[in-house]
Amino acid sequence: MSAIYWMMLVFFLWILHGIRNISHRICSESTTMATPPGSEGFPFIGETLHFMAAINSSKGFYNFVQLRRLRYGSCFRTNIFVETHVFVSSTESAKAILNNDLGKFTKRYIRSIGELVGHHSLLCASRHTHKHIRSKLTNLFSTTSLSMFIKQFDELIVKTLRGWETKGTVIVLDEALKITFKAMCKTLMSLDCEDEELEMLEKDVGCVCEAMLAFPLKFPWTRFYKGLQGRERFMKTLEKIINKRRENPQEIHEDFLQHLLTEDDETRPDDQNPSSLSDEQIKDNILTMIIAGQDTTASAITWMVKYLDENVDVLQKLRKEHLAPAKNAWNHSNLTLDDLNHMSYASKVVKETLRMASIVPWFPRLALEDCEIQGYKIKRGWNVNVDSRSIHHDPTFIAFGAGGRTCLGMNMAKAMMLVFLHRLITTYRWEVIDSDTSVEKWALFARLRSGCPIQVTRVRPNSAAS
Protein backbone atom coordinates (compact mmCIF):
# COMPACT_ATOMS: atom_id res chain seq x y z
CA MET A 1 0.00 0.00 0.00
CA SER A 2 2.71 2.42 1.02
CA ALA A 3 4.74 1.57 -2.14
CA ILE A 4 1.73 2.48 -4.30
CA TYR A 5 1.29 5.64 -2.32
CA TRP A 6 4.91 6.64 -2.87
CA MET A 7 4.74 5.81 -6.59
CA MET A 8 1.63 7.95 -6.95
CA LEU A 9 3.30 10.77 -5.06
CA VAL A 10 6.42 10.65 -7.23
CA PHE A 11 4.26 10.51 -10.38
CA PHE A 12 2.21 13.47 -9.20
CA LEU A 13 5.34 15.50 -8.41
CA TRP A 14 6.84 14.59 -11.76
CA ILE A 15 3.69 15.82 -13.57
CA LEU A 16 3.77 18.98 -11.44
CA HIS A 17 7.37 19.56 -12.36
CA GLY A 18 6.57 19.03 -16.06
CA ILE A 19 3.71 21.55 -15.90
CA ARG A 20 5.99 24.02 -14.15
CA ASN A 21 8.66 23.60 -16.80
CA ILE A 22 6.20 24.04 -19.66
CA SER A 23 4.59 27.13 -18.13
CA HIS A 24 8.06 28.46 -17.39
CA ARG A 25 9.03 28.00 -21.05
CA ILE A 26 5.82 29.62 -22.30
CA CYS A 27 6.36 32.61 -20.01
CA SER A 28 9.99 32.93 -21.09
CA GLU A 29 9.05 32.75 -24.74
CA SER A 30 6.33 35.37 -24.30
CA THR A 31 8.97 37.95 -23.45
CA THR A 32 12.05 38.67 -25.50
CA MET A 33 14.34 38.31 -22.49
CA ALA A 34 15.89 34.89 -21.85
CA THR A 35 16.26 33.35 -18.43
CA PRO A 36 19.85 32.70 -17.29
CA PRO A 37 21.58 29.66 -18.81
CA GLY A 38 21.88 26.53 -16.69
CA SER A 39 20.30 23.19 -16.06
CA GLU A 40 17.09 22.36 -14.21
CA GLY A 41 18.54 18.86 -13.63
CA PHE A 42 16.31 15.84 -12.97
CA PRO A 43 12.54 16.15 -12.74
CA PHE A 44 11.46 17.52 -9.38
CA ILE A 45 14.75 17.09 -7.49
CA GLY A 46 16.65 19.21 -10.02
CA GLU A 47 20.35 19.31 -9.21
CA THR A 48 19.88 18.68 -5.48
CA LEU A 49 21.84 15.42 -5.64
CA HIS A 50 24.79 17.17 -7.33
CA PHE A 51 24.64 19.85 -4.66
CA MET A 52 24.57 17.27 -1.87
CA ALA A 53 27.45 15.38 -3.51
CA ALA A 54 29.53 18.58 -3.49
CA ILE A 55 28.73 19.16 0.20
CA ASN A 56 29.83 15.61 0.89
CA SER A 57 33.13 15.93 -0.96
CA SER A 58 36.50 17.27 0.10
CA LYS A 59 36.20 20.13 -2.40
CA GLY A 60 33.27 21.58 -0.47
CA PHE A 61 29.88 22.82 -1.57
CA TYR A 62 31.25 25.86 -3.38
CA ASN A 63 32.60 23.44 -5.97
CA PHE A 64 29.00 23.03 -7.18
CA VAL A 65 28.83 26.76 -7.96
CA GLN A 66 32.32 26.98 -9.39
CA LEU A 67 31.78 24.21 -11.95
CA ARG A 68 28.58 25.79 -13.21
CA ARG A 69 30.04 29.29 -13.33
CA LEU A 70 32.82 27.97 -15.55
CA ARG A 71 30.27 26.20 -17.76
CA TYR A 72 27.56 28.87 -18.01
CA GLY A 73 29.18 32.20 -17.12
CA SER A 74 28.68 34.88 -14.47
CA CYS A 75 24.91 34.45 -14.18
CA PHE A 76 23.48 30.94 -14.24
CA ARG A 77 20.40 29.06 -13.09
CA THR A 78 19.98 25.76 -11.27
CA ASN A 79 17.34 23.92 -9.27
CA ILE A 80 18.10 22.77 -5.72
CA PHE A 81 15.70 21.72 -2.97
CA VAL A 82 12.83 22.07 -5.47
CA GLU A 83 13.49 25.77 -6.04
CA THR A 84 15.13 27.78 -8.78
CA HIS A 85 18.44 29.33 -7.74
CA VAL A 86 20.34 31.90 -9.77
CA PHE A 87 24.01 32.59 -8.99
CA VAL A 88 25.45 35.97 -9.87
CA SER A 89 29.14 36.83 -9.92
CA SER A 90 29.38 40.19 -11.68
CA THR A 91 30.43 42.98 -9.31
CA GLU A 92 27.93 45.49 -10.70
CA SER A 93 24.97 43.14 -10.32
CA ALA A 94 26.14 42.07 -6.87
CA LYS A 95 26.23 45.67 -5.67
CA ALA A 96 22.75 46.35 -7.07
CA ILE A 97 21.33 43.22 -5.42
CA LEU A 98 22.96 43.80 -2.04
CA ASN A 99 22.16 47.53 -1.91
CA ASN A 100 18.62 46.66 -2.93
CA ASP A 101 17.70 50.32 -3.39
CA LEU A 102 14.53 49.47 -5.26
CA GLY A 103 13.41 46.87 -2.73
CA LYS A 104 13.32 44.08 -5.31
CA PHE A 105 15.05 41.51 -3.08
CA THR A 106 14.84 40.18 0.41
CA LYS A 107 17.20 37.81 2.17
CA ARG A 108 16.30 34.14 2.21
CA TYR A 109 18.16 31.08 3.36
CA ILE A 110 17.35 27.52 2.34
CA ARG A 111 14.58 26.01 4.45
CA SER A 112 16.82 23.94 6.72
CA ILE A 113 18.75 27.03 7.86
CA GLY A 114 15.54 28.98 8.45
CA GLU A 115 14.11 26.29 10.72
CA LEU A 116 17.34 25.83 12.63
CA VAL A 117 18.05 29.47 13.45
CA GLY A 118 14.36 30.26 13.96
CA HIS A 119 11.88 32.42 12.13
CA HIS A 120 12.59 35.45 14.32
CA SER A 121 16.29 35.31 13.52
CA LEU A 122 17.75 38.38 11.88
CA LEU A 123 18.91 36.05 9.12
CA CYS A 124 15.36 35.05 8.19
CA ALA A 125 13.05 37.82 9.34
CA SER A 126 10.85 39.54 6.77
CA ARG A 127 11.97 42.95 5.50
CA HIS A 128 9.88 44.95 7.95
CA THR A 129 10.67 42.85 11.03
CA HIS A 130 14.31 42.70 10.03
CA LYS A 131 14.59 46.47 10.19
CA HIS A 132 13.13 46.50 13.69
CA ILE A 133 15.26 43.63 15.06
CA ARG A 134 18.40 44.95 13.43
CA SER A 135 17.92 48.39 15.00
CA LYS A 136 17.70 46.74 18.45
CA LEU A 137 20.78 44.57 17.90
CA THR A 138 22.87 47.34 16.34
CA ASN A 139 22.80 49.15 19.70
CA LEU A 140 24.75 46.25 21.18
CA PHE A 141 27.71 46.69 18.83
CA SER A 142 28.76 50.14 20.13
CA THR A 143 32.38 51.26 20.49
CA THR A 144 32.06 50.90 24.26
CA SER A 145 30.98 47.27 24.08
CA LEU A 146 33.63 46.57 21.43
CA SER A 147 36.31 47.97 23.77
CA MET A 148 35.07 45.79 26.61
CA PHE A 149 34.92 42.79 24.29
CA ILE A 150 38.55 43.32 23.17
CA LYS A 151 39.74 43.32 26.79
CA GLN A 152 37.88 40.08 27.58
CA PHE A 153 38.98 38.44 24.36
CA ASP A 154 42.61 39.38 24.91
CA GLU A 155 42.55 37.82 28.39
CA LEU A 156 41.03 34.66 26.93
CA ILE A 157 43.65 34.44 24.18
CA VAL A 158 46.58 35.01 26.53
CA LYS A 159 45.25 32.27 28.84
CA THR A 160 44.63 29.85 25.97
CA LEU A 161 48.00 30.39 24.29
CA ARG A 162 49.75 29.81 27.60
CA GLY A 163 48.35 26.27 27.55
CA TRP A 164 49.66 25.53 24.05
CA GLU A 165 53.27 25.22 25.14
CA THR A 166 52.72 21.86 26.78
CA LYS A 167 50.73 20.47 23.85
CA GLY A 168 52.71 18.66 21.18
CA THR A 169 50.43 19.60 18.33
CA VAL A 170 47.75 22.26 18.28
CA ILE A 171 44.77 21.97 15.93
CA VAL A 172 44.12 25.62 15.18
CA LEU A 173 40.49 25.19 14.07
CA ASP A 174 39.51 23.25 17.22
CA GLU A 175 41.17 25.82 19.45
CA ALA A 176 39.70 28.75 17.52
CA LEU A 177 36.19 27.26 17.69
CA LYS A 178 36.49 26.89 21.47
CA ILE A 179 37.88 30.41 21.87
CA THR A 180 35.28 32.11 19.67
CA PHE A 181 32.44 30.16 21.30
CA LYS A 182 33.58 31.17 24.78
CA ALA A 183 34.04 34.77 23.64
CA MET A 184 30.55 34.94 22.13
CA CYS A 185 28.91 33.34 25.19
CA LYS A 186 30.75 35.68 27.52
CA THR A 187 29.74 38.81 25.68
CA LEU A 188 26.18 37.66 24.95
CA MET A 189 25.29 36.03 28.28
CA SER A 190 28.27 36.46 30.66
CA LEU A 191 28.90 32.71 30.67
CA ASP A 192 32.35 31.76 31.95
CA CYS A 193 34.39 28.59 31.45
CA GLU A 194 33.25 27.35 34.88
CA ASP A 195 29.53 27.64 34.03
CA GLU A 196 28.00 24.23 33.43
CA GLU A 197 25.73 25.61 30.71
CA LEU A 198 28.70 26.47 28.49
CA GLU A 199 29.62 22.90 27.55
CA MET A 200 25.98 21.93 26.95
CA LEU A 201 25.39 24.94 24.75
CA GLU A 202 28.55 24.24 22.78
CA LYS A 203 27.36 20.72 21.94
CA ASP A 204 23.88 21.92 21.03
CA VAL A 205 25.13 24.71 18.78
CA GLY A 206 27.48 22.15 17.17
CA CYS A 207 24.44 19.96 16.27
CA VAL A 208 22.63 23.00 14.83
CA CYS A 209 25.64 24.03 12.72
CA GLU A 210 26.16 20.52 11.34
CA ALA A 211 22.55 20.43 10.18
CA MET A 212 22.58 23.74 8.33
CA LEU A 213 23.05 22.20 4.89
CA ALA A 214 21.23 18.95 5.58
CA PHE A 215 18.21 17.86 3.59
CA PRO A 216 15.23 18.98 5.71
CA LEU A 217 13.96 15.48 6.56
CA LYS A 218 12.65 15.07 10.09
CA PHE A 219 13.42 11.42 10.91
CA PRO A 220 15.19 10.61 14.19
CA TRP A 221 18.34 9.42 12.42
CA THR A 222 18.73 12.43 10.13
CA ARG A 223 21.26 15.19 10.62
CA PHE A 224 18.48 17.76 10.27
CA TYR A 225 16.41 16.20 13.05
CA LYS A 226 19.44 16.11 15.35
CA GLY A 227 20.04 19.78 14.54
CA LEU A 228 16.46 20.65 15.48
CA GLN A 229 16.85 18.77 18.75
CA GLY A 230 20.06 20.68 19.43
CA ARG A 231 18.12 23.90 18.82
CA GLU A 232 15.38 22.82 21.22
CA ARG A 233 17.88 22.02 23.99
CA PHE A 234 19.67 25.32 23.38
CA MET A 235 16.39 27.21 23.73
CA LYS A 236 15.55 25.42 27.01
CA THR A 237 18.92 26.33 28.51
CA LEU A 238 18.53 29.91 27.37
CA GLU A 239 15.02 30.06 28.84
CA LYS A 240 16.44 28.90 32.18
CA ILE A 241 19.07 31.65 32.07
CA ILE A 242 16.43 34.27 31.24
CA ASN A 243 14.07 33.06 34.00
CA LYS A 244 16.89 33.11 36.56
CA ARG A 245 17.66 36.69 35.64
CA ARG A 246 14.02 37.70 35.93
CA GLU A 247 13.80 36.03 39.35
CA ASN A 248 16.92 37.84 40.56
CA PRO A 249 16.63 41.36 39.15
CA GLN A 250 19.15 42.67 41.69
CA GLU A 251 22.00 40.73 39.98
CA ILE A 252 24.05 42.89 37.65
CA HIS A 253 25.02 41.57 34.22
CA GLU A 254 26.85 43.61 31.62
CA ASP A 255 26.03 41.68 28.47
CA PHE A 256 23.91 41.67 25.31
CA LEU A 257 21.18 39.50 26.82
CA GLN A 258 20.74 41.82 29.76
CA HIS A 259 20.49 44.85 27.47
CA LEU A 260 17.79 43.16 25.44
CA LEU A 261 15.89 41.96 28.52
CA THR A 262 16.08 45.24 30.37
CA GLU A 263 14.93 47.21 27.39
CA ASP A 264 12.21 44.65 27.01
CA ASP A 265 11.02 44.89 30.62
CA GLU A 266 11.28 48.66 30.89
CA THR A 267 9.55 49.53 27.68
CA ARG A 268 6.89 46.86 27.63
CA PRO A 269 4.84 47.02 30.79
CA ASP A 270 1.81 45.47 29.14
CA ASP A 271 3.37 43.47 26.32
CA GLN A 272 2.02 46.04 23.90
CA ASN A 273 5.09 48.08 23.11
CA PRO A 274 6.08 47.17 19.57
CA SER A 275 9.52 48.67 19.98
CA SER A 276 10.79 45.91 22.27
CA LEU A 277 11.84 42.43 21.20
CA SER A 278 9.73 39.47 22.34
CA ASP A 279 11.37 36.58 24.23
CA GLU A 280 11.17 34.47 21.07
CA GLN A 281 12.96 37.17 19.08
CA ILE A 282 15.62 37.55 21.77
CA LYS A 283 16.24 33.79 21.94
CA ASP A 284 16.41 33.23 18.18
CA ASN A 285 18.82 36.12 17.83
CA ILE A 286 21.12 35.06 20.65
CA LEU A 287 21.46 31.71 18.85
CA THR A 288 21.92 33.56 15.54
CA MET A 289 24.72 35.70 16.91
CA ILE A 290 26.57 32.67 18.28
CA ILE A 291 26.26 30.85 14.96
CA ALA A 292 27.09 33.93 12.91
CA GLY A 293 30.08 34.81 15.08
CA GLN A 294 31.68 31.54 16.19
CA ASP A 295 32.21 29.39 13.14
CA THR A 296 32.96 32.26 10.74
CA THR A 297 35.63 33.85 12.89
CA ALA A 298 37.20 30.52 13.88
CA SER A 299 37.45 29.51 10.21
CA ALA A 300 38.95 32.89 9.32
CA ILE A 301 41.57 32.57 12.08
CA THR A 302 42.51 29.09 10.83
CA TRP A 303 42.94 30.22 7.21
CA MET A 304 45.01 33.17 8.43
CA VAL A 305 47.49 30.86 10.20
CA LYS A 306 47.70 28.68 7.10
CA TYR A 307 48.17 31.58 4.65
CA LEU A 308 50.89 33.10 6.83
CA ASP A 309 52.73 29.80 6.93
CA GLU A 310 52.68 29.82 3.12
CA ASN A 311 53.80 33.48 2.81
CA VAL A 312 57.09 33.83 4.66
CA ASP A 313 57.69 37.43 3.49
CA VAL A 314 54.38 38.58 4.89
CA LEU A 315 55.03 36.79 8.15
CA GLN A 316 58.42 38.46 8.51
CA LYS A 317 56.97 41.90 7.86
CA LEU A 318 54.29 41.18 10.41
CA ARG A 319 56.87 40.10 12.98
CA LYS A 320 58.65 43.43 12.42
CA GLU A 321 55.42 45.33 13.11
CA HIS A 322 54.69 43.37 16.27
CA LEU A 323 58.06 42.53 17.76
CA ALA A 324 59.79 45.86 17.17
CA PRO A 325 60.86 47.40 20.54
CA ALA A 326 58.67 50.46 19.99
CA LYS A 327 55.62 48.21 19.93
CA ASN A 328 56.44 46.47 23.18
CA ALA A 329 53.71 48.45 24.89
CA TRP A 330 51.27 46.18 23.08
CA ASN A 331 52.81 43.20 24.81
CA HIS A 332 52.59 44.20 28.44
CA SER A 333 49.02 45.10 29.19
CA ASN A 334 45.66 44.20 27.75
CA LEU A 335 45.22 45.23 24.18
CA THR A 336 42.85 48.12 23.51
CA LEU A 337 40.81 49.23 20.54
CA ASP A 338 43.35 51.98 20.00
CA ASP A 339 46.19 49.42 19.85
CA LEU A 340 44.31 47.46 17.22
CA ASN A 341 43.71 50.62 15.19
CA HIS A 342 47.49 51.07 15.01
CA MET A 343 48.19 47.56 13.71
CA SER A 344 48.19 48.68 10.10
CA TYR A 345 50.01 45.78 8.45
CA ALA A 346 48.16 43.18 10.54
CA SER A 347 44.86 44.77 9.45
CA LYS A 348 45.89 44.23 5.85
CA VAL A 349 46.70 40.59 6.61
CA VAL A 350 43.27 40.17 8.18
CA LYS A 351 41.55 41.76 5.18
CA GLU A 352 43.48 39.69 2.66
CA THR A 353 42.70 36.50 4.62
CA LEU A 354 39.00 37.32 4.52
CA ARG A 355 39.18 38.04 0.80
CA MET A 356 41.05 34.85 -0.03
CA ALA A 357 39.04 32.58 2.23
CA SER A 358 35.60 34.08 1.41
CA ILE A 359 34.20 32.50 4.55
CA VAL A 360 30.60 33.19 3.51
CA PRO A 361 30.85 32.06 -0.11
CA TRP A 362 27.48 33.37 -1.27
CA PHE A 363 24.74 35.64 0.00
CA PRO A 364 21.20 34.39 -0.58
CA ARG A 365 18.35 36.65 -1.66
CA LEU A 366 14.79 36.15 -2.91
CA ALA A 367 13.42 38.12 -5.90
CA LEU A 368 10.24 39.87 -4.75
CA GLU A 369 9.22 40.77 -8.31
CA ASP A 370 10.14 39.95 -11.90
CA CYS A 371 13.32 41.81 -12.77
CA GLU A 372 16.41 41.77 -14.95
CA ILE A 373 19.98 40.85 -14.06
CA GLN A 374 22.78 41.03 -16.60
CA GLY A 375 20.23 41.07 -19.42
CA TYR A 376 18.48 37.92 -18.14
CA LYS A 377 14.95 37.69 -16.90
CA ILE A 378 14.64 36.80 -13.19
CA LYS A 379 11.23 35.67 -12.04
CA ARG A 380 9.51 36.62 -8.81
CA GLY A 381 10.09 33.92 -6.18
CA TRP A 382 13.46 32.81 -7.53
CA ASN A 383 16.44 32.64 -5.22
CA VAL A 384 19.23 34.95 -6.31
CA ASN A 385 22.62 34.24 -4.75
CA VAL A 386 25.54 36.66 -4.87
CA ASP A 387 28.68 34.59 -5.44
CA SER A 388 31.10 36.47 -3.19
CA ARG A 389 33.99 34.06 -3.64
CA SER A 390 34.09 34.71 -7.33
CA ILE A 391 33.69 38.48 -6.85
CA HIS A 392 36.69 38.42 -4.52
CA HIS A 393 38.87 37.70 -7.54
CA ASP A 394 38.59 41.37 -8.47
CA PRO A 395 39.46 44.23 -6.07
CA THR A 396 35.91 44.42 -4.66
CA PHE A 397 35.85 43.39 -0.98
CA ILE A 398 32.51 42.07 0.25
CA ALA A 399 33.60 39.55 2.91
CA PHE A 400 31.10 41.12 5.33
CA GLY A 401 28.40 41.74 2.73
CA ALA A 402 27.06 45.16 1.75
CA GLY A 403 23.90 47.26 2.07
CA GLY A 404 21.23 46.83 4.74
CA ARG A 405 22.33 43.27 5.55
CA THR A 406 26.00 44.01 6.17
CA CYS A 407 27.49 41.87 8.93
CA LEU A 408 26.64 43.28 12.35
CA GLY A 409 29.68 41.72 14.00
CA MET A 410 32.21 42.90 11.43
CA ASN A 411 34.30 44.99 13.85
CA MET A 412 34.09 42.30 16.49
CA ALA A 413 35.33 39.68 14.01
CA LYS A 414 38.22 41.86 12.83
CA ALA A 415 39.15 42.59 16.44
CA MET A 416 39.22 38.87 17.31
CA MET A 417 41.46 38.14 14.32
CA LEU A 418 43.84 40.99 15.20
CA VAL A 419 44.12 40.11 18.89
CA PHE A 420 44.71 36.45 18.03
CA LEU A 421 47.29 37.37 15.40
CA HIS A 422 49.19 39.72 17.67
CA ARG A 423 49.33 37.30 20.58
CA LEU A 424 50.30 34.36 18.36
CA ILE A 425 53.11 36.27 16.64
CA THR A 426 54.51 37.60 19.88
CA THR A 427 54.24 34.30 21.77
CA TYR A 428 55.12 31.59 19.26
CA ARG A 429 56.71 30.61 16.01
CA TRP A 430 54.76 27.86 14.32
CA GLU A 431 54.98 25.30 11.61
CA VAL A 432 51.94 23.84 9.83
CA ILE A 433 52.42 20.07 9.86
CA ASP A 434 49.67 19.10 7.42
CA SER A 435 49.33 21.16 4.26
CA ASP A 436 46.24 19.32 2.97
CA THR A 437 43.86 21.91 1.50
CA SER A 438 40.68 19.81 1.38
CA VAL A 439 37.74 21.33 3.13
CA GLU A 440 35.43 19.84 5.73
CA LYS A 441 32.31 18.07 4.53
CA TRP A 442 28.90 19.48 5.49
CA ALA A 443 30.36 22.74 6.75
CA LEU A 444 28.37 25.88 5.98
CA PHE A 445 31.53 27.98 5.97
CA ALA A 446 34.71 26.83 4.25
CA ARG A 447 36.79 25.06 6.94
CA LEU A 448 40.03 23.14 6.52
CA ARG A 449 39.41 19.42 7.02
CA SER A 450 42.77 18.98 8.74
CA GLY A 451 41.88 21.84 11.10
CA CYS A 452 45.41 23.18 10.39
CA PRO A 453 47.61 21.29 12.88
CA ILE A 454 50.67 23.27 13.97
CA GLN A 455 53.68 22.80 16.18
CA VAL A 456 54.62 25.84 18.22
CA THR A 457 57.90 27.04 19.69
CA ARG A 458 57.96 29.90 22.17
CA VAL A 459 59.41 33.22 21.00
CA ARG A 460 62.21 34.36 23.32
CA PRO A 461 61.28 37.52 25.27
CA ASN A 462 62.27 40.70 23.38
CA SER A 463 63.47 38.65 20.41
CA ALA A 464 63.89 40.94 17.42
CA ALA A 465 62.02 40.29 14.24
CA SER A 466 63.99 38.02 12.00
Binding residues for heme: 407
User: Please, which residue, 76 or 153, has the CB nearer to ligand HEM?
Assistant: 153
Neighbouring C-alpha atoms within 13 Å toward the C-beta of 246: 13
Piece of 69-77, 261-269, 291-299, 431-439 that binds ligand HEM (CB under 6 A): 291-299
* Candidate residues 123, 238, 371, 421; the one interacting with ligand HEM per rule CB under 6 A: 123
In whole angstroms, the minimum distance from the beta carbon of 402 to ligand HEM comes to 7
User: Please, which residue, 80 or 286, has the CB nearer to ligand HEM?
Assistant: 286
Q: Is 389 in the site for ligand HEM (CB under 6 A)?
A: no
**Nearest-10 Cα torsion for 275, 276, 281, 285:** 100
Piece of 22-30, 41-49, 201-209, 354-362 that binds ligand HEM (CB under 6 A): 354-362
Instruction: Say which residues have a Cβ less than 8 Å from residue 8's Cβ, sequence separation at least 6.
Output: none
Piece of 41-49, 157-165, 304-312, 402-410 that binds ligand HEM (CB under 6 A): 402-410
Site string for ligand HEM, 10-49 (x = CB under 6 A): ----------------------------------------
Residue 349, Cβ neighbours under 10 Å: how many?
A: 23
Sequential DSSP letters for 261-318: HHHHHHH-TTS--TTSPPHHHHHHHHHHHHHHHHHHHHHHHHHHHHHHHH-HHHHHHH
In whole angstroms, the minimum distance from the beta carbon of 168 to ligand HEM comes to 28
The pairs formed by 433-436 with CB atoms below 8 angstroms and a separation of 24 or more are 433/169
Q: Is 305 in the site for ligand HEM (CB under 6 A)?
A: no
* Candidate residues 75, 86, 113, 122; the one interacting with ligand HEM per rule CB under 6 A: 122
Rounded to a whole number of angstroms, the distance between the first and last alpha carbons of the chain is: 75
Piece of 110-118, 212-220, 317-325, 358-366 that binds ligand HEM (CB under 6 A): 358-366
Piece of 70-78, 232-240, 271-279, 359-367 that binds ligand HEM (CB under 6 A): 359-367
User: Please, which residue, 54 or 399, has the CB nearer to ligand HEM?
Assistant: 399
Q: Is 182 in the site for ligand HEM (CB under 6 A)?
A: no
State the binding site.
407
Q: Is 415 in the site for ligand HEM (CB under 6 A)?
A: no
In whole angstroms, the minimum distance from the beta carbon of 102 to ligand HEM comes to 17
With vertex at residue 99, the alpha carbon angle to CA 93 and CA 100, rounded to the nearest 5 degrees, is 85
The pairs formed by 155-160 with CB atoms below 8 angstroms and a separation of 24 or more are 155/334, 156/182, 156/183, 156/186, 157/419, 157/420, 157/423, 158/423
With vertex at residue 205, the alpha carbon angle to CA 200 and CA 208, rounded to the nearest 5 degrees, is 135
* Candidate residues 216, 227, 409, 453; the one interacting with ligand HEM per rule CB under 6 A: 409
Query: Measured over all CA atoms, what is the biggest interatomic distance in the chain, rounded to whole angstroms?
Result: 80
Instruction: Say which residues have a Cβ less than 8 Å from residue 9's Cβ, sequence separation at least 6.
Output: none
Confirm if 104 and 370 have CB atoms less than 8 A apart. Answer: no
Confirm if 302 and 448 have CB atoms less than 8 A apart. Answer: yes
Alpha carbons 68 and 84: distance in angstroms, whole number: 14
Q: Is 359 in the site for ligand HEM (CB under 6 A)?
A: yes
Alpha carbons 137 and 143: distance in angstroms, whole number: 14
Q: Is 302 in the site for ligand HEM (CB under 6 A)?
A: no
* Candidate residues 17, 50, 107, 108; the one interacting with ligand HEM per rule CB under 6 A: 107
User: Please, which residue, 130 or 319, has the CB nearer to ligand HEM?
Assistant: 130
SS3 195: coil
Q: Is 291 in the site for ligand HEM (CB under 6 A)?
A: no
Residue (of 120, 153, 119) closest to 136 by Cα position: 120
User: Please, which residue, 323 or 359, has the CB nearer to ligand HEM?
Assistant: 359
Q: Is 412 in the site for ligand HEM (CB under 6 A)?
A: yes
Q: Is 296 in the site for ligand HEM (CB under 6 A)?
A: yes
Q: Is 363 in the site for ligand HEM (CB under 6 A)?
A: yes
Residue (of 172, 151, 150, 152) closest to 161 by Cα position: 172
Which H helix or E strand runs over 55?
helix 48-55
Piece of 63-71, 261-269, 395-403, 429-437 that binds ligand HEM (CB under 6 A): 395-403
Residues that bind ligand HEM (CB under 6 A): 107, 122-123, 134, 288-289, 292-293, 296-297, 300, 354, 359-360, 363, 399-401, 405, 407-409, 412-413
